[in-house]
Amino acid sequence: MKFKALILVLFLFTQNLTQALADEGMWLPILLETLNEDEMQSMGFKLTAEDIYSINHGSMKDGVVLFGRGCTAEIVSDQGLILTNHHCGYGSIARHSSVDNDLLTDGFWAMSQEEELKNDGLTATILVRMEDVTAQVMEFIEDGMTESERQAAIEKASNKIVAEATANTHYDAKVKAFYYGNEFYLFVYEVFEDVRLVGAPPSSIGKFGGDTDNWMWPRHTGDFSVFRIYADKDNKPAAYSKDNVPYKPKYFFPISLKGVQENDFTFVFGYPGTTQHYTLADGVQQITEEENPVAISLRRTRMDIMEKYMALDNATRIQYASKIAGVANYWKKMMGESKGIRQWNGIRKKTAEEEEFEKRVQANPELKAKYGTLMAEFDKVYEEIRPYNAAFNYFFEGVWSIEALKYAWSFNNYISAAITDPNSNELPRLKEDLEKKMEGHFNGVHNDIDREVCGAMLAELEGMGKDFLPEYYFTLKDEYKADWNNCANTIYENSYFTSAENNTKFFALKNKKIKMAAEDPMYKLATGFIGIYLTKIQPGRAKYEAKLDSLYRIYVQALSEVFPEKRMWPDANSTLRVAYGKVQGYDATDAVKYDWYTTLAGVIEKEDPAIADYYVDEKLENLYYSKDYGMYADSDGTMHVGFIATNHTTGGNSGSPVLNANGELVGINFDRVWEGTMSDLMFDPNKCRNISVDIRYVLFIIDKYAGASHLVEEMKLIK
């Protein structure tokens, strides 16, 4: 007995130890003081939770920006200057690029504020405050509500809370669910709409290593770009105008030139998008063994086609640069994730946790009464949802990647309205909207690529299974004897929706003739697939997702009762979070250990004329050989490029400030290491590392490489 107790004490002790070093979690800024401050300080943090998030005075949270919809940026000057990743600014940089003025390839530096470039649709969002509104939401929820009644009640409560929070202000607000709807928080934001491009390194620096190195360490990417937030005269958000002025922030981050050392405390403050770390073994199995492999294959097929045409001419390369980057990024991520779960026994570990849960529940009558059948219910729902998830995956990754199909579908309201009533006075307005979209659509799509993608996808979509394929699919299969390329060629020649020329003919049709479009082959494919999606896939998934959601809500609640010793954190949901950890290398695989930083020497080492991703330009090479690093060199004399740490991050954390114990900027987060890519599902403290570009490399490129020292002068440097 005594021995057992000792083991238990030891076990808890080591658990705590590993927990202190484990660094798992993405924490809510307003809960840091209660949950994390002590631990952060014991790991080296020299400030307080109040310095990170305060409602009473300017604090770090006022310097963190949700950049666009899926990235983070940080304010680094009193004139609204912000830093984010090159891959976050990529779409904007591409939109300003042309064959003759290729900012992607050559980089861009505004040498004065007049030269900064506007970006339609790009926003910079700053959190004003957040608040726990669980009690207010719960007032609307009654025991015994069905899942959809519960959802409706939450929506009603959220609308009320949002309306109150934004009354008489220019603010935006949102209520978000945490812990699968066990808790709710309100977020009030200020959204800036005039965000200008200030600078970007050439892709040979900003995207150095490209997809070859993506999701991997050792890494040598100078993954940063520079923007500026503009506001009106009163420092309020305003649409783009020449009269707007640089935004005066409540806070901006000082930048440390001292670099980091192994085991230094760091934290990452940003907007992680989605994690699913409570997912049970069954769910992890479906994602990593069933869904990812299909998505990986469909994406590879698409990318091969895109790459083929992108290599043929420069205009296509620029046109598809941003698109293929998006496809490639999660293509590789899914490979790393599936591999990591397999390699580090993710399913076995999750199963063991579930068995321990079950054991404790069954051993305690009170818990058993509440949670005794939970695991069995999960099993059942996971079986039921499987075919719908599989079909959805094919739909999203396959059907939805045929751009002409999506485009044809956007005509659905118009065509349906014309069929119901060719004299409807709705028609001119609907038509006008569509005509406005036409040019943009055909500018963004390369017809040969889309046609080949269509043929290839139709072939692979057979895997969706009879139950989820529309009848028209089989008609075409018979007609073309499963020669899907031939089928796609014919469709693209004849459809109203596959070229600007044909589309113009469609717009010229008299109202009475619009109904002919219902027989258009691309339109029929669109309505066939989307019809099945809307009537079968989506409702099936929604039904079982709702069941899963309510089971997970109970499960997460149960976890806190069954494992009271565990500190819990809510999955990422695109809200502002803090992750903290230490600068550290890792044991990658058997016999392979990685160091915690990379240097410019590694860029030169990687250079390879045969691999486009490893191109290094002469200017950078010269700086390397002359060792002209100025104040940006490390104390060891080298130019540090990247470093890794144990901060728990995910997609959306790109561009996040990486801060030292004093809250000074030491890096910009941009990726994770290959062996730890599975951290959205399972965080392994021995494998998971976030990758940052060293802030000194960023400044070195801005100053020494690009000669944009006026930007560095705007910043506050800590030497």
Site for ligand GLU in 655-684 (CB under 6 A): 670-672
What are the residues facing 665 on neighbouring strands?
255, 659
What are the residues facing 690 on neighbouring strands?
645, 672
Residue closer to ligand GLU (CB basis): 86 or 196 = 86
Residue closer to ligand GLU (CB basis): 158 or 669 = 669
**In the structure encoding, which two tokens stand for residue 480, read together?**
């073309």
223 belongs to the catalytic site: yes
Residue closer to ligand GLU (CB basis): 252 or 670 = 670
What is the closest distance, in whole angstroms, from the C-beta atom of residue 176 to ligand ARG in the complex? 22
H helices within 53-133, ranges in order? 86-95, 103-106
Stretch that binds ligand GLU, among 257-265, 463-471, 648-656, 710-718 (CB under 6 A): 648-656
Q: Which does 387 bind (CB under 5 to 8 A by kind): ligand ARG, ligand GLU, none?
A: none
Residues contacting 386, CB < 8 A, separation 6+ = 286, 290
**In the structure encoding, which two tokens stand for residue 16, read together?**
């705590």
CB atoms closer than 10 angstroms to residue 230: 26
Residue closer to ligand ARG (CB basis): 257 or 588 = 588
Residue closer to ligand ARG (CB basis): 145 or 325 = 325
Out of 62, 194, 213, 223, the active site residue is: 223
* Contact flag: residue 89 with ligand GLU (CB under 6 A): no
Helix axes 292-312, 314-343, angle to 10 degrees: 160
Residue closer to ligand GLU (CB basis): 69 or 505 = 69
Q: If you ran DSSP here, which 8-state letter would residue 583 be given?
A: B
Q: Are strands 586-589 and 592-594 parallel, antiparallel or unpaired?
A: antiparallel
As a whole number of angstroms, the distance between CA 23 and CA 579 comes to 8
Q: Where are the beta strands (DSSP E) in 232-279?
A: 245-246, 255-256, 265-270
CB atoms closer than 10 angstroms to residue 604: 14
Helix axes 521-532, 484-494, angle to 10 degrees: 120
CB atoms closer than 10 angstroms to residue 122: 21
Site for ligand GLU in 59-88 (CB under 6 A): 71
* Contact flag: residue 652 with ligand GLU (CB under 6 A): yes
As a whole number of angstroms, the distance between CA 209 and CA 211 comes to 6
Residue closer to ligand ARG (CB basis): 102 or 337 = 337
Q: Which does 650 bind (CB under 5 to 8 A by kind): ligand GLU, ligand ARG, none?
A: ligand GLU
# residues near ligand GLU by CB under 6 A? 10
Burial 421-457, CB ≥16 within 10 A → b, else e = eeeeeebeebbeebeeeeeebbeebbeebbbbbbbbb
Residue closer to ligand GLU (CB basis): 119 or 499 = 119
What is the closest distance, in whole angstroms, from the C-beta atom of residue 84 to ligand ARG in the complex? 11
* Contact flag: residue 649 with ligand GLU (CB under 6 A): yes
Out of 54, 77, 86, 87, the active site residue is: 87
What is the closest distance, in whole angstroms, from the C-beta atom of residue 573 to ligand GLU in the complex? 14
* Contact flag: residue 651 with ligand GLU (CB under 6 A): yes
**In the structure encoding, which two tokens stand for residue 136, read together?**
């207010």
Q: If you ran DSSP here, which 8-state letter would residue 617 be given?
A: -
Binding site for ligand ARG (CB under 6 A): 87, 210-211, 214-215, 325, 328-329, 651, 654, 670-671
What is the closest distance, in whole angstroms, from the C-beta atom of residue 291 to ligand ARG in the complex? 18
In this chain, which of 653, 660, 684, 704 binds ligand GLU, going by CB under 6 A? 653
Residue closer to ligand GLU (CB basis): 499 or 654 = 654
654 belongs to the catalytic site: yes
As a whole number of angstroms, the distance between CA 308 and CA 9 comes to 61
Residues contacting 689, CB < 8 A, separation 6+ = 217, 584, 586, 644, 645, 646, 672, 673, 676
As a whole number of angstroms, the distance between CA 653 and CA 669 comes to 7
Q: Which does 214 bind (CB under 5 to 8 A by kind): ligand ARG, ligand GLU, none?
A: ligand ARG
H helices within 519-648, ranges in order? 521-532, 538-562, 600-606, 618-626
Residue closer to ligand ARG (CB basis): 39 or 211 = 211
What is the closest distance, in whole angstroms, from the C-beta atom of residue 210 to ligand ARG in the complex? 6
Sign (positive/negative) of CA torsion 286, 287, 293, 297?
Answer: positive
What are the residues facing 270 on neighbouring strands?
577
* Contact flag: residue 654 with ligand GLU (CB under 6 A): yes
Stretch that binds ligand GLU, among 59-67, 75-83, 242-250, 651-659 (CB under 6 A): 651-659
Residues contacting 101, CB < 8 A, separation 6+ = none
The three-class DSSP label of residue 173 is strand
Q: Which does 533 bind (CB under 5 to 8 A by kind): ligand ARG, ligand GLU, none?
A: none
Residue closer to ligand GLU (CB basis): 69 or 170 = 69
As a whole number of angstroms, the distance between CA 568 and CA 535 comes to 38
* Contact flag: residue 275 with ligand GLU (CB under 6 A): no
What is the closest distance, in whole angstroms, from the C-beta atom of residue 328 to ligand ARG in the complex? 4
The three-class DSSP label of residue 440 is helix
**Per-residue contact string for residues 478-507; x = within reach of ligand GLU by CB under 6 A:** ------------------------------
Residue nearest to ligand ARG (CB): 87
Out of 77, 654, 656, 679, the active site residue is: 654
As a whole number of angstroms, the distance between CA 536 and CA 539 comes to 6
Q: Which does 328 bind (CB under 5 to 8 A by kind): ligand ARG, ligand GLU, none?
A: ligand ARG
Residue closer to ligand GLU (CB basis): 264 or 337 = 337
What is the closest distance, in whole angstroms, from the C-beta atom of residue 69 to ligand GLU in the complex? 11
At residue 426, what is the residue type? E
86 belongs to the catalytic site: no
Q: Which does 649 bind (CB under 5 to 8 A by kind): ligand ARG, ligand GLU, none?
A: ligand GLU
Q: Are strands 124-132 and 108-109 parallel, antiparallel or unpaired?
A: unpaired
What is the closest distance, in whole angstroms, from the C-beta atom of residue 583 to ligand ARG in the complex? 20
**Per-residue contact string for residues 514-533; x = within reach of ligand GLU by CB under 6 A:** --------------------
What is the closest distance, in whole angstroms, from the C-beta atom of residue 650 to ligand GLU in the complex? 5
Q: Which does 653 bind (CB under 5 to 8 A by kind): ligand GLU, ligand ARG, none?
A: ligand GLU
Q: Are strands 255-256 and 717-718 parallel, antiparallel or unpaired?
A: parallel
In this chain, which of 54, 77, 204, 650 binds ligand GLU, going by CB under 6 A? 650
Q: Which does 602 bind (CB under 5 to 8 A by kind): ligand GLU, ligand ARG, none?
A: none
As a whole number of angstroms, the distance between CA 665 and CA 256 comes to 6
Q: Which does 325 bind (CB under 5 to 8 A by kind): ligand ARG, ligand GLU, none?
A: ligand ARG
**In the structure encoding, which two tokens stand for residue 120, read together?**
């339609």
Of 19, 44, 95, 574, give the one whose Cα is nearest residue 321: 95
What is the closest distance, in whole angstroms, from the C-beta atom of residue 214 to ligand ARG in the complex? 4
Residues contacting 483, CB < 8 A, separation 6+ = none
Q: Is the peptide bond before 685 cis (omega within 30 degrees of 0)?
A: no
Q: Which does 652 bind (CB under 5 to 8 A by kind): ligand ARG, ligand GLU, none?
A: ligand GLU
**Which residue numbers are catalytic?**
87, 223, 654
Binding site for ligand GLU (CB under 6 A): 71, 649-654, 670-672
